Structure 1
Amino acid sequence: MDQRSLLLEGLSDAIGFIGGALIGYWAGQLLGLDIFAQGYGNSAIGGIVLVGLGGGLGLQIARRWRNRQKPDKEN
């Protein structure tokens, strides 16, 4: 792998993860879940779970997008 493809891989992973985590955070805010609440109550845990799920889903979407950008090397 060359440096350009490694840079594209790292940037797309970072953008996907951060974007997904932000979407999870905003969804939690809309549902009334606050990840910054005092203690580890249900609200905080629910918000943390949404941020984690959003980040993971964003990363998977970024990886699938990157794989679709690659030319087919089957032939």
Structure 2
Amino acid sequence: MPALLVKILSDVVGFVGGALAGYWLARAAGIDVLRDLHSNASVLGIAAIGLGGGIGLAAARRWRQARDAG
């Protein structure tokens, strides 16, 4: 598989997976981001989604570096 395709796909899977994990973590905490669009709790839910996406992206990049090194 071409290196650029691996880079793109791993970034997408990491970010989307992390964002979904953040969304479900917010839902487990009782925050529905899609329903409460203008509340303070919604801001926390959006932050959880963004943080989850960033963590997932970082994990995908670490995986890719480990894959390329070994």
Query: Please, what TM-score do these two structures have when normalized by structure 1?
Result: 0.86
Name the structure 2 match of 1:54: 52
Structure-2 separation of matches of 1:19 and 1:40: 25
Structure-2 separation of matches of 1:6 and 1:26: 30
17, 31, 34: which one pairs with 1:19? 17
Q: Flag the structure with higher helix content.
A: 2
Task: Mark the runs of 5 or more structure 2 residues left unpaired by the alignment.
Answer: none
Task: Mark the runs of 5 or more structure 1 residues left unpaired by the alignment.
Answer: none
Where 1:11 maps in the other structure, the secondary structure is helix
Structure-1 separation of matches of 2:6 and 2:32: 33
Name the structure 2 match of 1:7: 5
Where 1:70 maps in the other structure, the secondary structure is helix
- 8 Å contact kept, 1:37–1:43: no
Where 2:2 maps in the other structure, the secondary structure is helix
Correspondences of 1:34-49 after superposition (within 5 Å)? 34-49=32-47
Amino acid of the structure 2 residue aligned with 1:50: A
User: Where does structure 1 differ by over 4 angstroms across 4 or more consecutive aligned residues?
Assistant: none
Give me the CA root mean square deviation.
1.5
**Aligned residues between the structures:** 70
